[in-house]
Amino acid sequence: MKNEDLVSYNVMTMGYAVHGHASQAMQLFDNMRKQDLQPEAYTYDGVPMACSNAGQVEEGLQYFEE
């Protein structure tokens, strides 16, 4: 991404989640945290949804509990 800010990460993560690309959504989330960007409520909507759509319930619960 050219502009790596919280909004960009949220939109990309949600896009991956909606279209069933859980691994990409989780990778973006991890990259975001490595850049010291603080997740917000919208961020935490996308990652568990991606995990749920991919059948990765345990991973989704871990992100949800954060």
pLDDT of 37-51, one tens digit each? 888 888 878 888 888
Digit-coded pLDDT (tens) for 20-37: 888 898 898 888 888 888
The number of helix segments (H) and strand segments (E) in the chain equals 4, 0
Question: pTM above 0.75?
Answer: yes
Average pLDDT over residues 3-7: 83
Structure letter (DSSP) for residue 5: S
**Where does the pLDDT of residue 1 fall: very low under 50, low under 70, confident under 90, or very high at 90 and above?**
low
More confident residue, 66 or 22: 22
